[in-house]
Chains A and B, each alone.
Chain A
Amino acid sequence: MKAVMTRRGTRANLVVRGARVIDPAQGLDSVIDVVVEKGRITAVGKKAGKAAGLEVLDAAGCLLLPGFVDLQTHLRAPGREDEEDIASGTAAAAAGGYVAVTAMANTDPVVDTAAVLEAQLEAAEKEAAVRVTFTGSITRGLAGERLSEIWDMADAGAVAFSDDGRPVESGALLRAAFQAAQLVQRPLFLHCEDASLAAAGQMHEGTVSAALGLEGIPACAETAAVARDLEIAAYEGARVHVLHVSCAGSLAAVAAARARGAEVTCEVTPHHLVLDHQAVRSLDACTKMNPPLRSEEDRRALVAALADGGIDCIGTDHAPHAPQEKEVPFEEAPFGVIGLETAFPVLYTELVAGGDLPLEVLVRAMSTNPARVLGLTPPAVAEGAEADLCLVDISGEYAIEPERFRSRSRNTAFAGRKVKGRILLTLAGGREAFRDERFGEGGS
């Protein structure tokens, strides 16, 4: 398993003074100082880091958190560098507080051989601002007909296998993929969808699709596939991560599989936690994604499951699209929205500040838990750990301005939304990956 990033830039030397430091895995939640020297955390405590030569950041009123880890990031390179590439995508990640992202395999060419994967890893070593882990595809060309080079890609460093964007329609092929992945002890990240039920659907099938006249994607297109895929996984004793669950029925299927002892993790996107299908009434193509925004009841169920552990992780499903692809009538637009730069502020504002979700649960779901799914050492605010941290200002409200994004794309569902939780600083792998321009050098 490999997580690679650039080795350029100096390792961070600084003191973060007076932030509320939260690391649920360490049981840590207090206002203390954190010292980073040569990219490692050397001291955590009151009045730490008096040593000379360190930049001191006055972070009173801010949160210092373990950096975030994304399980589902579309970096678009190679193939659609006009929309995103490793450099811009990881810059966006850093700007959102992420210290690691998981690149999806649906590039052009598809990451379905060790040769393609090795080229990706090499590019990431040169370009990536934060750690990048790579998934290989489950099937060649995502065509769902024969398996990719699962064993060779695992040897080359693939963390998991996924045909994300498409389901593996053949149950027999999915079973063979579980068996292949087991030999190399990698999970499959599954996009669970019955394609025949989803058909040409454009949005959640329900009252809004009925009113608008848009073809619906019924919730059962997802729940039926989750149930089938987990049934096969349980039969094979295989490890599964269910990508972007969107409805209450999928949660029930995951819970049932876990009750039978299956090794299942799952994730939810920020937009499914915050928006529902009513948003599609605008016919704004930035409310179009797959799975679609579901009902308000589904949304509430997702929030409740995140709070009670039914859902382990937040995955952004960061899916950049060029402006001309989204500036079209709804039905002509591709599915997908970007999310790396808005995930924490949106979730903090809508769920934590609103009282629906404890902050430490959000931190676990964005950092510790996804790192475990990937087999990475979870970012920790602890002496001796490499600095994988993000500093967040929760005092002031600001409007999300897509034109300020580091991402090369602008297709966010949250343009103009007023949020709290601006990311001020991200240290990834001991290096300063992002600093907000308004957060000056030497804050004290």
Chain B
Amino acid sequence: MNKDLLSIDDLSREEMESILATARKDFLDLSRRDIKKVPTLRGRTIIDLFYEKSTRTSTSFELAGKRLSADVINVKADSSAVGKGESLKDTVLTLNAYAPDIIVIRHPHVGAPAFIARYTDAHVINAGDGKGGHPTQCLLDIFSLQREYGELQGLKVAIVGDILHSRVARSNIAGFRKMGMEVTLVAPPALLPRGVETLGARVSHTLDVLDDVDVVYLLRMQKERHGSTILVPSLREYIARYCVGRRHLKRGQKVLHPGPINRGVEIEAELADSGENLILQQVEAGLAVRMAIMYRIIVDAAALQDTAGARAVQAVAD
């Protein structure tokens, strides 16, 4: 891995496979033990810097850090100096003075993780930047799919819902394609970004295409990001056309959702409660995958340094 995980584009397919193998081999079973802790990152400091409301991602990162025995500090925007007008740059410079090993950042604006990486020596992990990307979500989704389907090459997935406002869609289109999957986006035109055809996915405006895919990935309608313009004629009409229920599914088709779910909007309640969805498996995978990412980002960097150091020593010896 590179120093930071800012975008899913930072990882090659091999690196993704390798991280997921670590998650599977070393961390997945930890939750099932009585003592849910390993000493891997003992003495390391992780700062979780969250500028947006988050339940699942923030608890997942916090728990992942704690189960690796790191010291984990949570900084929430509403309880920090941010309310006193401090800039992101100054907040990060201040936190960097504590010499953290990892800063995990969730921010409402695109590129914030790359921005803070300029001002800290810590490894920066993007836990969601505005509508930009959500690489750890992408990895845990791929992990969940691998557990369910094994090999993903050629697997067909439909991503359904509010693509326009979704950082998950942006990361997953790239990540799924990197794993050899075929991606179709399903949404009304107003919920697709202009230029979507260049992202490497097919586009459909109706759920009919679900007949031709193996997996259905649902996205929440992000009303909070819609601004003042109403993008669909009415929620009722949207639901009638895009809410996915068990009746839309074929045998063996599984449903994923990054959460939080809106029952009755993008997913029918019955489907949300059925064994056809992998939503809770995704949450479980998230913990193991984030442990693997944090472990690997530190170990790989140390290995790189060792190699560089060894080369330097060799050069001196020569």
Q: Does A331 belong to the interface (CB within 8 Å)?
A: yes
When chains A and B are docked, how far (Å) is the Cα of A209 from the Cα of B192? 12
Q: Is B114 an interface residue (CB 8 A)?
A: yes
Contacts of A332 in B (CB 8 A): 88, 109
Which partner residue on chain B sits nearest A327 by CB separation? B89
Q: A214-B131, A328-B89, A331-B130 are in contact. Are A206 and B110 (CB under 8 A)?
A: no
Q: Mark A321-340, 1 if CB is under 8 A from B, else 0.
A: 00010011111100000000
Contacting B at CB under 8 A, from A185-226, are: 196, 199-200, 205-216, 218
- The stretch from B138-146, B194-202, B279-287 touching chain A is B194-202
Q: List the B side residues contacting A331 at CB < 8 Å.
A: 108-110, 130
CA–CA, A324 to B88, complex, Å?
10
**In the bound complex, do residue A210 and residue B195 qualify as a contact, i.e. CB atoms below 8 Å apart?**
yes
Partner of B111, one of A205, A215, A283, A324: A283
Min Cβ gap A288→B in Å is 11
B196 touches A327 (CB 8 A): no
Least CB distance from B62 to A in Å reads 24
B199, A213: Cβ atoms closer than 8 Å = no
Contacts of A330 in B (CB 8 A): 109-111
In the complex, the answer to whether A213 meets B195 with C-beta atoms within 8 Å is: no
* B194 close to A329 (CB less than 8 A): no
B170 within 8 A of A: yes
> In the assembly, what is the distance between CA of A209 and CA of B195, in Å?
8
Residues from 330 to 383 in A contacting B, C-beta threshold 8 Å: 330-332
Chain A residue nearest in CB terms to B194: A205
A426 CB to closest chain B CB (Å) equals: 36
Q: B275 an interface residue at 8 Å Cβ cutoff?
A: no
Interchain CB contact (< 8 A) of B110 among A200, A210, A213: A213
Q: Is A210's CB under 8 angstroms from B194's CB?
A: yes
Q: Flag A264-284 by CB within 8 Å of B: 1 or 0 each.
A: 000000000000000000010
Interface string of B290-317 (1 = CB under 8 A from A): 0000000000000000000000000000
B167 at the interface (CB under 8 A from A): yes
Which residues from chain A contact B132 at a C-beta distance below 8 Å? 212-214
Q: Kindly list chain A residues whose C-beta atoms are within 8 Å of the C-beta of B229.
A: 196, 199
- A-chain residues with CB within 8 Å of residue B220 when the two chains form the complex: none
What CA separation (Å) do A209 and B196 show in the bound complex?
A: 10
- The CA of A196 and the CA of B227, in the complex, are separated in Å by 11
Q: Which single member of B88, B107, B193 contacts A216 (CB below 8 Å)?
A: B193
What's the nearest-Cβ distance from chain B to residue A287, in Å? 12
Pairwise interchain contact A283-B194, C-beta atoms closer than 8 A: no
Does residue B206 face the partner (Cβ distance < 8 Å to A)? no
Whether B40 sits at the interface, judged by CB under 8 Å, is no
| Bound Cα distance from A329 to B117, whole angstroms | 12
Q: Which residues of B from 183 to 232 have beta carbons under 8 Å from A?
A: 193-196, 198-199, 227-229
Contact of A329 among B110, B167, B193, B196 (CB under 8 A): B110
| Inter-chain contact total with CB atoms closer than 8 Å | 71
B 107-128 contacts with A by CB, 8 A = 107-112, 114-115
Known interface pairs A212-B132, A328-B87; A283-B195 also in contact (CB < 8 Å): no
Q: B115's contact among A208, A211, A216, A283, by CB below 8 Å, is which?
A: A283
Residues of A within 8 A of B112 (CB): 329
* Size bin of chain A's contact surface: 20 to 34
B161 lies within 8 A of chain A by Cβ: no
Q: Does B107 contact A210, Cβ atoms closer than 8 Å?
A: no
Q: Which residues of A contact B199 (CB under 8 A)?
A: 210-211
Cβ proximity bits A412-436 to B, threshold 8 Å, 1 near / 0 not = 0000000000000000000000000
Across-interface contacts of A196 in B (CB, < 8 A): 229
Nearest chain B CB to A325's CB is how many angstroms away? 10
Q: Is B133 an interface residue (CB 8 A)?
A: yes
CB pair A328–B115 under 8 Å, yes or no, is yes
Check if A329 sits within 8 Å of B198, measured CB to CB: no
Q: Roughly how many angstroms separate A214 CA and B89 CA in the complex, as a whole number?
A: 21
User: Cβ of A213 and Cβ of B194 under 8 Å apart?
Assistant: no
Chain B residues near A215: list those with CB within 8 A. 131
Instruction: Specify the chain B residue showing the minimal Cβ separation from A324.
Output: B87
- CB-contact partner of A210 in B108, B167, B198, B228, under 8 A: B198
Instruction: Say how far A105's CB is from chain B's closest CB, in angstroms.
Output: 28
Which single residue of chain B is at the shortest CB-CB distance from A331? B109
Q: B110 to chain A: which residues have CB within 8 Å?
A: 212-214, 283, 329-331
Q: From the candidates A209, A212, A327, A328, name the one contacting B194 in the complex (CB within 8 A).
A: A209
> A134 to B133, alpha carbons, bound, how many Å?
45
Chain B residue, CB-CB nearest to A203: B110
Q: Are B87 and A327 in contact (CB under 8 A)?
A: yes
- CB distance B195 to A329 under 8 Å? no
CA distance A152 to B109 in the complex (A): 45
Given contacts A207-B195, A210-B193, contact A329 B227 (CB under 8 A): no
Contact of A207 with B198 in the complex, beta carbons under 8 Å = yes
Which residues from chain B contact A209 at a C-beta distance below 8 Å? Answer: 193-195
Residues in B whose Cβ lies below 8 Å from that of A200: 227
In the complex, the answer to whether A329 meets B115 with C-beta atoms within 8 Å is yes
Which B residues from 220 to 248 make CB contacts under 8 A with A? 227-229
Q: Nearest Cβ in chain B — how far from A150, in angstroms?
A: 32
Select the residue from B110, B130, B167, B229 with max chain A CB neighbours within 10 A.
B110
Judge whether B109 and A211 touch: CB under 8 Å: no
- Chain A residues with CB under 8 Å of B114's CB are 283
**Cβ of A64 to closest chain B Cβ, rounded Å:** 43
Please report the C-alpha to C-alpha distance between residue A126 and residue B211 in the assembled complex, in whole angstroms.
Answer: 76
Distance (whole angstroms) from the CB of B294 to the closest CB of chain A:
23
The residues of A that contact B108 with a CB separation of less than 8 Å are 331
Q: Which of A199, A205, A330 has the most CB of B within 10 A?
A: A330
Question: Bound state CA distance, A327 and B131, in angstroms?
Answer: 20
Contact partners of B88 in chain A: CB under 8 A: 328-329, 332
Residues of A within 8 A of B111 (CB): 212, 283, 329-330
Q: Tell me, in angstroms, the Cα distance from A213 to B173 when the chains sit together.
A: 13
Contact partners of B109 in chain A: CB under 8 A: 329-332
Q: Which A residues form the contact surface with B (CB < 8 A)?
A: 196, 199-200, 205-216, 218, 283, 324, 327-332
Residues of B that sit less than 8 Å from A by CB: 87-89, 107-112, 114-115, 130-133, 167, 170, 193-196, 198-199, 227-229
22 example contacts (A-B, Cβ-Cβ < 8 A) are as follows A206-B195, A209-B193, A209-B195, A210-B194, A210-B195, A210-B198, A210-B199, A211-B199, A213-B110, A213-B131, A216-B193, A216-B194, A218-B194, A283-B115, A328-B88, A328-B115, A329-B88, A329-B110, A330-B109, A330-B111, A331-B110, A332-B88
The 3 closest A-B pairs by CB, nearest first: A213-B131, A210-B195, A283-B111
Q: Given contacts A200-B227, A211-B198, could you give 5 more A-B pairs where the C-beta distance is less than 8 Å?
A: A196-B229, A205-B194, A328-B87, A329-B107, A329-B110
